[in-house]
Amino acid sequence: MKRATRMKSARPRRRSERRRLAARDQSLLDLVDNVLSKGVVVSGELLLGLANVDLIYLRLTALLCAADRVSPAARGWRGGRAALTR
């Protein structure tokens, strides 16, 4: 009986942890998308030390596409359960 109670109380916590993690993953993807691919460009010629940024950005595109499949937060949104992330 005691064990059953413990299991019951553990489940919602795991769910909320998963949701928090997923929200954080989504937020990271948005962070990379914003900071790497948007914003004022001073001059293409003077962007230094960023030879691998394009590669990272292309990988990001793939990640954004995959986010829908791996993120419980994304799936839960239509039910109005997911919170906005930042």
Partner 1 sequence: MTPLYLYALLGTEPPPGRWRGLDGEPLRFVRVAGLVLAAGPMSRAPGPSLSTLRRHDAVVRRLAGAVPAVLPARFGALVTDRAALAELIAPQAATLRRALAQVAGREQMTLRLYGSARRGEGEAATFFPSGRGFPSGRGFPSGRGLPAGPGTRYLTSRSAATLRAQPDLARLRRTLAGLVRAERIEPSQTPPLLGSVYHLVDRGQRRAYQRALRRVTCQLADLRVVPSGPWSPYAFAPEPGD
Q: Which residues lie near partner 1 (CB under 8 A)?
A: 26-28, 30-44, 46-50, 52-54, 56-58, 61-62, 64-65, 67-69, 71, 73-75, 77-80, 82, 84-86
Helix 53-70 to helix 2-37 angle (10° resolution) is 150
- Which lies closer to partner 1 via its Cβ, residue 1 or residue 55? 55
Give the integer Cα–Cα distance in Å for 22 and 42.
34
Phi (first) and psi of residue 50, to 5 degrees: -120, 35
Residue 49 CB, nearest approach to partner 1 (Å) = 4
E strand or H helix at 24, and its extent?
A: helix 2-37
- Which lies closer to partner 1 via its Cβ, residue 16 or residue 37? 37
Residue 3 CB, nearest approach to partner 1 (Å) = 37
